[in-house]
């Protein structure tokens, strides 16, 4: 969905490096989410934010941090990347009680 | 434990046939359900949703059925087309959206031409 934009789309980084994945949305939603998807599996929730001053840990938050810079922007950081963080990362948005809308994903490879 | 799961990990159907993808959930507090389609290399795409006060909802070529008695959800795709080939996920939301989406592992639908 073009209303949810993730950058970069692909990234290769070295073990130990800090990396930031960015997400911006034009849907005007208050709620934003970061998910991780490993090959052949479903999506696992990393962090979520219900508004600019709200940050919550998801199922697999260890090794990740987030920043909600504005209603439209939610970034995910890996402070010290490790190979098992190689995955597809998706940002999503929603409003209260509505469907989630996803970005096109960021393919991250940690070597 | 609480989970959203799928009965079949893969489904192959002939082009033009109807497809039925099933999903089970275990939390009776879930009140909103969404089906997503994910094509290779792309993000999940919203297909259709249904709230717990409904049993059936129809969209364009798709129908979602909700059976709260047995905690079962299904997605029916009419006249399946090659472009329907993808992984389909069901997701549940609890407490009217105040807890995040919980995804099942997905069913891969393959359409045979």
Q: Going residue by residue through chain A, which has 111 residues, state the pLDDT in tens, using 9 for 90 and above.
A: 479 999 999 999 999 999 999 999 999 999 999 999 987 778 889 999 999 999 999 989 999 999 999 999 999 999 999 999 999 999 999 987 778 899 999 999 999
pLDDT score for A8: 97
3-state SS, residue B74: strand
pLDDT score for B61: 96
Give the closest of A96, A97, A105 to B43, CB-based: A105
- Vertex B8: Cα angle to B6 and B9 (nearest 5): 90
Strand partners, A92: A33, A102
Q: What average pLDDT does the structure give for chain B? A: 87
Which chain B residue shows the shortest CA-CA distance from A4? B43
pLDDT, tens digit (0-9, with 9 covering 90-100), for B16-47: 999 999 998 878 888 889 999 999 888 999 99
Q: Read off the pLDDT band of B95 (50, 70, 90).
A: low
From chain B residues 44-73, the ones with a CB under 8 A of any chain A CB are: 44-46, 49
Candidates B22, B28, B15, B27; CA nearest to B113 is: B15
Residue B8's alpha-carbon distances to A8, B101, B104, in angstroms, are 34, 21, 11
Q: In angstroms, rounded to a whole number, what is the distance separating the alpha carbons of residues A20 and A15?
A: 14
Strand partners, A10: A107
């Amino acid at each position: 969905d073009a209303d949810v934009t993730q950058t970069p789309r692909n990234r290769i980084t070295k073990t130990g490096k800090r990396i930031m994945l960015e997400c911006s949305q034009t849907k005007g939603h208050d709620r934003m989410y970061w998910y991780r998807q490993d090959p052949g599996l479903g999506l696992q929730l990393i962090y979520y934010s219900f508004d600019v001053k709200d940050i919550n840990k998801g199922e697999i938050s260890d090794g990740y941090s987030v920043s909600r810079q504005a209603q439209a922007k939610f970034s995910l950081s890996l402070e010290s990347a490790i190979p098992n963080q190689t995955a597809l990362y998706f940002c999503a948005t929603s409003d209260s009680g509505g469907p989630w809308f996803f970005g096109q994903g960021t393919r991250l490879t940690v070597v | 434990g609480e989970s959203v799961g799928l009965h079949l990990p893969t489904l192959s159907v002939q082009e033009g046939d109807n497809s039925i993808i099933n999903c089970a959930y275990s939390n009776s507090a879930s009140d909103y359900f969404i089906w997503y389609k994910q094509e290779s290399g792309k993000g999940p795409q919203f297909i259709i949703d249904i709230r717990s006060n409904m049993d059936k909802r129809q969209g364009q070529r798709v129908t979602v059925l909700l059976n709260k008695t047995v905690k079962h959800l299904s997605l029916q795709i009419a006249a399946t087309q090659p472009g329907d080939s993808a992984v389909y996920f069901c997701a549940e939301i609890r407490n009217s959206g105040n807890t995040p989406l919980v995804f099942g592992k997905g069913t891969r639908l393959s359409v045979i031409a």
